[in-house]
Amino acid sequence: MKLFQKLAIATSLVLSLATLTTKSASAAIINYAFTVDSSTAKGNGLFSFDDSTFSNDNIPVAPVQSLTFQFDNNPKIYTAKDDVEYPDYPLAFPTVSLADNAPIGLLYSFQDKANSDKNYEIAGTLFSVSSETSNSGTVSYRQVPEPSTLGSTFLVGSIGLFLKRKVSSIKKIKA
């Protein structure tokens, strides 16, 4: 009977992980967080895009579906609609061909909401402010895990802890 219970637990674990893996693999929406760091402006943002919509150009691009960005200590929030060439921009692109460290880059140009004479531009890992010299800062990216990935990690960890406790209690009883 104990062998049957262990087999049932193992089977349910494998099936649940297979289901979670299949769901996350079929989802094409990719989420990234990015950080801007320059001598005059620092900020954080999030964007997402559908990786199945990459164009067939030499450097493929995909339209950004959602984007929010905020400079540190500034209540104004910039979105995709703030791009000066919206709705054609902002765009996401793979940076493999540019030898950047980030796997994905962002093309996003927007005006300062408080001073329309001041423009900002994010081009891959480069950040520039119109009133400064070009390439006045850097942009770093990190992929944001999907909730299903976090959920499956929690599930596997919980089952592992449960089985570890059960095995240790069985060893104590036998000793």
Taking only the tens place, the pLDDT of each residue in 48-105 is: 999 888 888 888 999 999 999 999 989 999 999 999 999 999 999 988 655 456 688 9
Strands 62-71 and 91-94 turn out to be: antiparallel
Residue 57 pLDDT: 86
Q: Can you give the pTM of this predicted structure?
A: 0.66
Residue 19 has pLDDT above 90, yes or no: no
pLDDT tier at 34 (50, 70, 90 boundaries)? Answer: very high
pLDDT tier at 9 (50, 70, 90 boundaries)? Answer: low
C-alpha 173/C-alpha 167 separation (Å) is: 10
**Helices assigned H by DSSP within 41-101:** none
Residue 144 has pLDDT above 80, yes or no: yes
User: 3-state class of 63 per DSSP?
Assistant: strand
Q: 16-25, 50-59, 144-153: lowest mean pLDDT where?
A: 16-25
Residue 13 has pLDDT above 60, yes or no: no
- The DSSP line for 109-154 is EEE-SS-TT-EEEEETTEEEETTS-SS-EEEEEEEPPPHHHHHHHH
